Amino acid sequence: MKQILFILSFLIVSYGCNKSPENVSEEKKEDLKVNEFAIIIHGGAGTILKKNMSDEKEAAYKAKLEEAIKVGHTILKNGGTSQEAVMKTIQVMEESPLFNAGKGAVFTNAGTNELDASFMDGKTLNAGAVAGVKDVKSPIELAIKVMTDSEHVMLSGEGASTFAKEKGLEIVDPSYFFTESRFNSLQRIKEKEKTELDHDAKAAFYDADIKDSKFGTVGCVALDKNGNIAAGTSTGGMTNKRWGRIGDAPIIGSGTYANNVTCGVSSTGWGEYFIRSQVAYDISAQMEYQQKTLKEATKDVIQNKLTKLGGTGGVVALDKNGNMSFEFNTEGMYRASMDDKGELIIKIYKE
Ligand code: ASP
């Protein structure tokens, strides 16, 4: 009897100890609210190496990432919604020629810019997306409009533009999206393409070219003071795309996902693999059904599942408690995060 009492009291005491915050393991800490609000962004992943980057270029990227994230952070700090924070943050990057979204989008094989974007609201699981849009200044704003002002989730091409006009969104001449560096990238790829002869060599060339590219898509995930998570992604897709190719960025569950119960995710990388892996939803599903932490889920999906399939890229993600995660299997990813204390992290390369 004495022995049983001893074991019982030991169990009670050790349970009590485990409950005190200093004894909570790293993983369990993810169960606690670490940030009342938070924001995380990316400006694309890829072969981004320090040796290929000038100091000026690096400074320009960092400055733009800082400018963008601070716009969203201020909105959240003042009690604004995660939806507004995500939209306004992404718009700063869409308007910058540095990123492959909005102005600065990559060129299609036909020499046009075709833009994709998506948005998801973690509270209602409502979502909106657009694909192949050629004349709408802010594709992320249009994606949100599709969510709020139509009964659909995804619109494409001309129809999406007509909807944008009807809703009074800013329409621009397609030349607005032109940047010389992106145009030159297309010419380089086309030149190389001509020199490849057989089908296998061509396939190898495409693989190498894609693996080598800097994807440059932009994305943002935010948690607001009301506990609502929102996620958005905007891109020009991949250089030299043709036949109306659509990547993962406008696909809910691949490029973007948000659920207040789990997390929000925005992806960047080789879109075909992100679609096949359902990257963004898989991260949320692992948290929901396997009780994984955000870090565990993002790591498994990117470093294990996506990598095994041959996909390259990464995600930014944030959970309901304000934990944040950058995860990528490329050389670098333009990325930044900011928590409720105002701590700002901006990084480009692998550590
Ligand atoms: N994921 C995008 C796409 O495949 C590209 C990128 O992330 O830059 O269209």
Residue of 81, 89, 108, 217 marked active site: 217
pLDDT at 203: 59
Q: Tell the burial category of 160 from Cβ atoms under 10 Å away from its Cβ (0-12, 13-18, 19+).
A: buried
Residue 196 has pLDDT above 80, yes or no: no
Mean pLDDT calculated for residue range 232-248:
96
Residue 14 has pLDDT above 80, yes or no: no
Mean pLDDT calculated for residue range 224-241:
97
Residue 232 has pLDDT above 50, yes or no: yes
Residue 195 has pLDDT above 80, yes or no: no
What is the distance in A from the centroid of ligand 1 to the CA of 209? Answer: 14
Largest CA distance in the chain: 86
Residue from 248, 273, 329 whose mutation best tests the ligand 1 pocket (most atoms within 8 A of CB): 248
Sheet architecture: strand order including 313-319? 256-258, 263-269, 313-319, 324-328
C-alpha count within 13 angstroms, C-beta hemisphere, residue 303: 8
CA dist list (Å): 301 to 14, 118, 274: 35, 20, 10
Residue from 217, 265, 302 whose mutation best tests the ligand 1 pocket (most atoms within 8 A of CB): 217
pLDDT at 19: 40
Residue 329 has pLDDT above 60, yes or no: yes
Residue 208 has pLDDT above 70, yes or no: no
pLDDT at 167: 98
Mean pLDDT calculated for residue range 59-71:
97
pLDDT at 29: 54
Is residue 195 part of the annotated active site? The answer reads no
Under a CB-based contact definition with an 8 Å cutoff, are residues 220 and 90 in contact? yes
Q: What is the mean pLDDT of the chain?
A: 90
Residue 26 has pLDDT above 70, yes or no: no
Instruction: Please name each of the domains of the chain with its CATH number.
Output: 1-32 (no CATH), 34-349 (3.60.20.30)
Lowest mean per-residue pLDDT among 22-36, 55-69, 85-99, 194-208: 194-208
Mean pLDDT calculated for residue range 203-228:
78
What is the distance in A from the centroid of ligand 1 to the CA of 7? Answer: 57
Pocket of ligand 1 (CB under 6 A): 44, 100, 215-217, 235, 237-238, 247-249, 268-269, 271
Under a CB-based contact definition with an 8 Å cutoff, are residues 251 and 264 in contact? no
DSSP secondary structure of 181-240: HHHHHHHHHHHHHHH--SHHHHHHHHHHHHHHSB---EEEEEE-TTS-EEEEEEE---TT
pLDDT > 70 fraction of the chain, expressed in percent and rounded: 86
Residue 18 has pLDDT above 50, yes or no: no
Residue nearest atom 7 in ligand 1 by C-alpha distance: 268
pLDDT at 120: 99
pLDDT at 198: 62
pLDDT at 192: 79
Residue 15 has pLDDT above 50, yes or no: no
Lowest mean per-residue pLDDT among 184-188, 214-218, 343-347: 214-218
Among 33, 62, 122, CA closest to 335: 62
73-126: pLDDT as tens digits: 999 999 999 999 999 999 999 999 999 999 999 999 999 999 999 999 999 999
Under a CB-based contact definition with an 8 Å cutoff, are residues 257 and 127 in contact? no
Residues 231, 223: Cα–Cα separation, whole Å? 9
- Token pair, residue 128, equals 């909106």
Q: Tell the burial category of 209 from Cβ atoms under 10 Å away from its Cβ (0-12, 13-18, 19+).
A: middle
244-288: pLDDT as tens digits: 999 999 999 999 999 999 999 999 999 999 999 999 999 999 999
pLDDT at 332: 94
pLDDT at 282: 98
pLDDT at 278: 98
**DSSP state for residue 22 in the 8-state scheme:** G
- Calculate helix-pair angle for 199-212, 180-195, nearest 10 degrees: 150
Among 323, 316, 321, 319, CA closest to 346: 316
pLDDT at 5: 54
Of 1-5, 27-31, 119-123, highest mean pLDDT: 119-123
Residue 197 confidence class, pLDDT cut points 50, 70, 90: low
Mean pLDDT calculated for residue range 24-52:
82
pLDDT at 22: 46
